[in-house]
Amino acid sequence: MKFKFLILLSLFTFFLNPILADEGSDDISFYTGTFDVIDKEGDDQTSLFGIEHKNPNLFKNTFLGKFSPVSGGFMTGDNAVYLYTGIEGQYGIGPLKILPSFAPGYYEKGNGKDLGSVLEFKSEIKIGFDIFENSKIGYSYSHISNNEWGDTNPGTDNQHITFSKNF
């Protein structure tokens, strides 16, 4: 299952998105961290690995800040999968970037935590630093829940380290 997910996500990110966007405008992020970081029992806590795509050419400046569409997905150590697409804001102070985002998505529990619905919503705050030209490293904290739309709504909090590169 992991292998199929990574192949599917790689095909989506590297082949489909350049068709929809200008060449040379891809911001690809890889991240790894902990799924269900504040699980009190510890039985659902596991690792996660993900990939995310942004097109910097699609950033829009508004009176609330700079916003862009974001798409991605991750898989946990228990074979749970979350695929999402949403919007991300960007606020900068020199090399420091603050990136809040909101993304609805599809969740499949695999052998992992049952979040109560296949439709889940991810709210995230990311803090990133420019480390090289066109490269960033960051820390993210996210919450995923179904907003009481499912049978249950246990939610999950996740944290991860991100490496981003503009191509």
d(C-alpha 69, C-alpha 148), whole Å:
25
Q: What is the mean pLDDT of residues 59-84?
A: 92
Q: How far is CA 141 from the centre of its chain?
A: 10
Structure confidence at residue 25 (pLDDT): 61
CB 86 within 8 A of CB 98: no
Beta bridge pairs of residue 159: 34, 141
State how far the Cα of 80 lies from the Cα of 58, in Å rounded to an integer.
30
Least confident of 8-12, 23-27, 93-97, 138-142: 8-12
pLDDT for 4 beyond 60:
no
Task: Using the predicted structure, report yes or no on whether residue 141 has a pLDDT greater than 90.
Answer: yes
Which amino acid is it at 58?
L
Tokens at residue 53, please?
């795509």
CA dist 28 and 21 (Å) reads 13
CATH 2.102.10.10 fits 2-18+25-166, yes or no: no
CA 18 to the chain's CA centroid: 19
pLDDT class of 63 with cuts at 50, 70, 90:
confident
Contact by Cβ (8 Å): 136, 128: yes
Q: Give percent above pLDDT 90 in the chain.
A: 59
- pTM here is 0.82
